[in-house]
Amino acid sequence: MPRNAIDSSRRFRRRTVRILVDYMGPDGVRCDYATTLGAGGLFIETEEPLRADALVKLRFRLSDEADLHEIQGRVVWGRRLEEGGRPHAPGMGIQFTDSVGCSALARELEDFSA
């Protein structure tokens, strides 16, 4: 299935966001923007995506007044700007691996959209 097609098998609804995410990967701390977010993971826009299966620790807030979320995750896929011959945002898809952190985020996302 093409990446831009709607994947109805997703367990969690995704939202378009623009939130700053600090994350620790194998090469140190980075700070980039997430542009989509769900209780199961997020997309981080970056010109230097980490390799697939890299483990990361992420920190972010949904808003200035919101709780700080600290969640562990794993890079599921990455893409660079030049891949595929058509323009798209470079970055990486992160799947959260921390069930406690996911639950807290899911609750806040429900409250946030209400």
pLDDT tens by residue, 14-34: 789 999 999 998 889 999 999
DSSP output for 33-94: EEEEEETTEEEEE-SSPPPTT-EEEEEE-SSTTSPPEEEEEEEEEEE-TTGGGS----EEEE
Q: Is 105 left (phi over 0), alpha (psi -120 to 50) or beta?
A: alpha
Residue 4 has pLDDT above 50, yes or no: no
Residue 29's pLDDT is 96
Q: What confidence tier does 2 reach under pLDDT thresholds 50, 70, 90?
A: very low
Phi, psi of 105 (to 5 degrees): -65, -45
Q: What is the pLDDT of residues 33-77, one digit of tens each?
A: 999 999 999 999 999 999 999 999 999 999 888 889 999 999 999
Q: According to the model, what pLDDT value does residue 84 have?
A: 59
